[in-house]
Amino acid sequence: MNQFDKIQEAARFLQSHNTASATIGIVLGSGLGNFTNEIEVTAAVSYADIPHFPVSTVEGHSGKLIFGTIAGKPVIAMAGRFHFYEGYGPEEVVFPIRVMKALGVQTLFVSNAAGGTVSSWKVGDLMLITDHISFATINPLLGRNDERFGPRFPDMSEPYKKELITRAKEIASANGIPLREGTYFGVTGPTFETRAEYKLIHTLGGHAVGMSTVQEVIAARHMGIDVFAMSVITDIGIREEENIITHQEVLEAAHAAEPKLTLIFRELIRTL
């Protein structure tokens, strides 16, 4: 069975749960799963039960596809995502995004925990992702292109919807939430970056670095889905002092920043 048919089969299985015909998809990053408390849940389906779906292996990712409403708008949310470093191929990493599209999703909200490369930033800062650099990851569109998904050479001049970024700034300003903005640099992981790598990424134009998001966004844009994404800065890797990073610290920083990210996502969804 080819990838397109697998996606259609998964979408058919899930369609009975998508009773409100959601057009908004949400992908929640490490330590950001409590955002699901904002959702008035109508159904929660374990990834293990969905045909052809990968299963998350990372602490902080619960592994369920959630159907419900936020601010009165029907949504489909991934509580737990898939990463290349877990041993999944790029096609598997983006499989849920393609399934969301098959279910009717037109706008995708993405969150992640990321390392900051700007020395003046602080742990817990929120960064609007305005662009990304994908050269250090494997492009999920490699191989034969299926025109049913999108064109062979998709345009990436606006990977993150400018109109949604503008609205998010207005929401943050109205609620007294300071925002950073910048370019997300995607890497494979699973090692955190060395000091030299942080400095190189900063020199190359990356304000934050992480092990997710980029492949998902490429697949979303390939299919014509609008994207809005934010990073929680969970460590500052470019600091000169001793700076040992653990996954537990990343989760704790994400939890602390989560209420602010949640408010912005919720109010932005309300405007759609």
Q: What does the alpha-carbon distance between residue 111 and residue 123 come to, in Å, rounded to a whole number?
A: 16
- Whole-prediction pTM: 0.94
User: Using N-to-C axis directions, what is the helix angle for 214-222 and 95-102, rounded to 10°?
Assistant: 30
Residue 95 carries which DSSP code?
Answer: H
How far from each other are the two terminal CA atoms of the chain, in whole angstroms? 36
The closest alpha carbon to 271, from 178, 180, 169, belongs to: 169
What are the pLDDT tens digits along the chain (272 aa)? Answer: 899 999 999 999 999 999 999 999 999 887 677 788 889 999 999 998 999 998 766 665 568 999 999 999 999 999 888 999 989 999 999 999 999 999 999 999 999 989 999 989 988 999 999 999 999 999 999 999 999 999 999 999 999 999 999 999 999 999 999 999 999 999 999 998 998 999 999 999 999 999 999 999 999 999 999 999 999 998 887 655 666 667 787 777 777 888 999 999 999 999 99
**How many CB atoms neighbour CB 234 within 10 A?**
29
Measured in residues, the chain has a length of 272
> Which residues have C-beta within 8 Å of that of residue 239, sequence separation ≥ 6?
119
Q: Tell me the domains of the chain and their CATH numbers.
A: 3-270 (3.40.50.1580)
Beta bridge partners of residue 110, listed in sequence order:
27, 229
